[in-house]
Amino acid sequence: MQDMQTYFRKLRRDAVDCALISKRATDAEKEQLFGQLAEHLALLVAELEHAIETKGRVPACQDEAQAALIALLRAPAFTRSATGIISG
């Protein structure tokens, strides 16, 4: 469980970093991209924590946890919005 909390803290820090980059960006496209990335990372952490809470268990091993992260990151909705195809 401690390893998962470490991953969650890292993802949260990454979300904050992306939000800061978005606010400091001078290019509108980069501002939007990093803003969306910050939102997606924050949502990813929330969804993973919720999945663990509702299943009542921590993934059996790190490989399973990493596979879940990769699957979420490769989900069509994430990749389309991160590349700017979805607006809003």
Domain boundaries, the chain: 2-82
d(CA 13, CA 19): 10
Are 11 and 44 a contacting pair, CB within 8 Å?
yes
pTM of the model: 0.59
Residues 6+ apart with CB under 8 A from 80: 86
Helix then strand count (H, E) for the chain reads: 4, 0
Are 59 and 65 a contacting pair, CB within 8 Å?
yes
Residue-by-residue pLDDT tens, the chain, 88 positions: 677 788 888 988 999 999 999 999 999 999 999 999 999 999 888 888 888 788 765 555 555 556 665 555 555 554 444 444 433 3
